[in-house]
Amino acid sequence: MVDYELLKKIIEAPGVSGYEFLGVRDVVIEAFKPYVDEITVDKLGNVIAHKKGKGPKVMLAGHMDQIGLMVTHIEKNGFLRVAPVGGVDPRTLIAQRFKVWVGPNEFVYGVGGSVPPHIQKPEQRNKAPTWDEVFIDIGAESKEEAEEMGVKIGTVITWDGRLERLGKHRLVSIAHDDRIAVYILVEAARQLAETDADVYFVATVQEEVGLRGAKVSSFGIDPDYGFALDVTIAADVPGTPEHKQISQLGKGVAIKIMDRSVICHPTIVRWMEEIAKKHEIPYQWDILTGGGTDAGAIHLNKAGVPSGGISIPARYIHSNTEVVDERDVDAAVKLTVKVLEEIPELKL
């Protein structure tokens, strides 16, 4: 099962897109150190952990940024107006607790607010709130007090989310998207024993705002093969027909066939299926029509990179209550390790 304490460190460290240096980057560097030959940080902030080999050059990407908010205005009475960084639904802000990051690993608390339903107009009660109708309350009574607390225009904000166990096999937390994949990369680096592959484990930045970290890091690495590790939708909840669930918790790692950003190389897809069957790794398929991953940038690098995807089913993504299953995480680690062990023999 998962190393709970390591996962907790990775997930709970701050790192909104473009601001990964606020905490998560250092945690990831320390996590990789014992298991790779060298670690570099490129100009955009990607952490590149290199395990040297003489065979094909393989890049595995899991993004370490998370969605969040950015302060756009401080009201005279101290309330904060915000804009989304990444795909944030304003409905997920109401009545939630937040951390307002005034420095590296330094925050003040806030809560999400809007006009109380008791005094809303009838037409407002039947509509989702807009960005103009939500705000963050940090307890300040004036703009000056908010600024004294360290808040500025451009300050970033995350939900106050923690890693917790949910039932027997499930884990709930903020930022499983995509810190669970970063954890899997670290575990794969730890467990990888023998391979001739030249492996680059990359914790990318700014995936949530356009696959930007993967674009520059794949250009620098110039891999022969690329793999993106990311969550995929598990809509296995009441009211969703089975054919629309995408994936299901507890049914294994999801081998990506396609998403909005990439059509995975068919030979790689079937080869990964063969590996899963050979090593008795539970798996399912991932066809996601409403989202993308770092593979979308990697496979378009230079003259093209044959790419695949290793996906972790997750419920309620892009919220502070994302849920994954430890058994799927374990399966993803096993598949990642076996892919790296056997990729020198892959023939396209």
Write out the catalytic residue numbers: 207
Q: Three-class SS of residue 24? A: helix
Whether 177 has a binding-site annotation, put simply, is yes
According to the annotation, is 63 in a ligand binding site?
Answer: yes
Query: b/e per residue, 240-267, with b = 16+ CB within 10 A?
Result: eeeeeebbbbbbbbbbbbebebbebbee
DSSP 129: P
State which amino acid sits at residue 228: A
318 in a labelled binding site: yes
By residue count, the chain amounts to: 348
Q: How far apart are CA 14 and CA 27, in angstroms?
A: 10
- How far is residue 40 CA from its own chain's centroid? 20
Nearest partner of 258 among 313, 329, 223, 308, judged by Cα: 308
Nearest to 177 by CA among 317, 285, 336: 317
C-beta separation of 108 from 100 below 8 A: yes
Binding residues: 63, 177, 208, 230, 318
Binding residues for Zn(2+): 63, 177, 208, 230, 318
